[in-house]
Amino acid sequence: MAPAKITSPQDPALAELCAELTQLAPKIDVSGHWPTEQLELCGQYGVYEWFLEPQWGGQDWDSEAAVAGYLAMAGACVTTTFILTQRTGACRRIASSTNRALQDLLLPNLAQGNLFATVGISHLTTSRQHLARPVLRAEPVAGGFRLDGFSPWVTGAAHAQYVVTGATVMHADKPTEEQLLVALPTRLPGVSIPEPAQLIGLTASHTGEVRIDGVFVANEWVLAGPVPQVMAQGIGAGTGGYQTSAVAIGLAHSAIGLIQREASRRAALDVPLEALQNEYRQLYDLLFAVVRGETGCSGEQLRQQANSLALRSTQAALATAKGTGYLQGHPAGRWCREALFFLVWSCPQPVVAANLCELAGIAE
Ligand SMILES: Cc1cc2nc3c(=O)[nH]c(=O)nc-3n(C[C@H](O)[C@H](O)[C@H](O)COP(=O)(O)OP(=O)(O)OC[C@H]3O[C@@H](n4cnc5c(N)ncnc54)[C@H](O)[C@@H]3O)c2cc1C
């Protein structure tokens, strides 16, 4: 029998899904296999519906509910939750485009989990920004654009029918200010997806390059642009938002849970446990205050604190589990590797700078 759809973060079916994801998490960490079963479960439990409006078959959860969902799922399986954020990033950009025909074609199928779409936009935001020549270029041609180059980081690319990606419009082989956002069908001639990268964590996310060699992309696939700074406005905005912090805080919660279980028979853990629990509670409250717009704390300040707690709490869990935690298959070691991801994932420069200062032991 198909499981009940999760209709709110308080729905007991969410705890049921998380229990299943928790059980499956060690397997994909060791094998590096794409989490097919986990993503199918997400579809059955209606997770993909949370992020889309009813007109597309979605439940349109508000930001607070969506963040609560991400928090719970990240505590169960960071890899699955991370893939979900990238899929949702693609859905969100398709949903906020003005390309109605493309929305009709893709969004109902994305809400039901019949399609998988992902994003490859970091080369317009946090990756390859120091290079003079854009890594993905678009040349206007009759009926559309010819794209050339590559998108360096695309999660689940080989499993996606569509990659939401951006390219810089070229004029006389020189980059212009204008950029374009498209839903690139991965079946188009000239699109190729090499073997995904071997990562130090989240290898099962099958993240890697998408190569785009002289690909004709018809106007029908354009989501936005050409406009200057397509990622800084409307459809593009919202990279590295509080969802990223929610995933980091969800991971910290699992790590602190391990210390709590051990503390019931090891009094020496009480003091660090209490400190981490207090910090977790404060950060949890801050996360929702940021989501509700009730605080002056910026998304970047929240992210820096979330990164810090994820790194410290997972290492505290490893120290608690001792050598046993250093064995392959133990969650503490996996969590430590997963926490490192937050130092590099969708990390705006001020967050990188703040994390580096903390690591260097200096106040900013
Ligand atoms: C596992 C994983 C999954 C990801 N998934 C996605 C995804 O699905 N979609 C997506 O859009 N993005 C994704 N990203 C991208 C991510 O959000 C960041 O954009 C990415 O981590 C930035 O790293 P980079 O090495 O490309 O940065 P870059 O800034 O390009 O740095 C690359 C190298 O260039 C050099 N360098 C950096 N800055 C300078 C400088 N100022 N001057 C000279 N040299 C410099 C350094 O040697 C550095 O190692 C993912 C990243 C990872 C690691």
In order of their start, the domains of the chain are: 12-111 (1.10.540.10), 117-235 (2.40.110.10), 242-357 (1.20.140.10)
159-216 pLDDT per residue, tens:
999 999 999 999 988 999 999 999 999 999 999 999 998 999 999 999 999 999 999 9
How far is ligand 1, taken at its centre, from the CA of residue 146, in Å?
25
Residue 241 has pLDDT above 80, yes or no: no
pLDDT score, position 235: 66
- Give the Cα separation of 270 and 264 in Å (integer): 9
Query: What is the mean pLDDT of the segment spanning 229-253?
Result: 82
pLDDT score, position 190: 98
pLDDT score, position 254: 98
CA distances from 177 to 67, 138, 222 (A): 34, 12, 17
Q: 137-140, long-range: CB within 8 Å, 24+ apart, which pairs?
A: 137/167, 137/168, 137/169, 137/170, 137/175, 138/167, 138/168, 138/169, 138/170, 138/180, 138/217, 138/226, 139/169, 139/170, 140/169, 140/226
pTM: 0.96
Counting from 1 in the atom list of ligand 1, the atom nearest the Cα of 126 is 19
Q: Which residue's CA lies nearest to atom 50 of ligand 1?
A: 153
How far is ligand 1, taken at its centre, from the CA of residue 128, in Å?
7
Cβ of 124 below 6 Å from ligand 1: no
Among the ranges given (1-10, 53-62, 213-222), the one the predictor scored with the smallest mean pLDDT: 1-10
Cβ of 83 below 6 Å from ligand 1: no
Query: What is the mean pLDDT of the segment spanning 277-297?
Result: 95
pLDDT above 70 as % of the chain = 98
How far is ligand 1, taken at its centre, from the CA of residue 48, in Å?
27
How far is ligand 1, taken at its centre, from the CA of residue 291, in Å?
26
Q: Who wins on pLDDT, 101 or 239?
A: 101
Cβ of 127 below 6 Å from ligand 1: yes
How far is ligand 1, taken at its centre, from the CA of residue 204, in Å?
19
Cβ of 199 below 6 Å from ligand 1: yes
Residue 56 has pLDDT above 60, yes or no: yes
pLDDT band, residue 236 (cuts 50/70/90) = low
113-129 pLDDT per residue, tens:
999 999 999 999 888 88
- Give the Cα separation of 292 and 63 in Å (integer): 8
Cβ of 245 below 6 Å from ligand 1: no
Q: Who wins on pLDDT, 212 or 232?
A: 212
Mean pLDDT, the chain, integer: 95
Counting from 1 in the atom list of ligand 1, the atom nearest the Cα of 152 is 26
Residue 364 has pLDDT above 80, yes or no: no
Cβ of 155 below 6 Å from ligand 1: yes
pLDDT band, residue 249 (cuts 50/70/90) = very high
Q: Who wins on pLDDT, 304 or 232?
A: 304
pLDDT score, position 127: 85
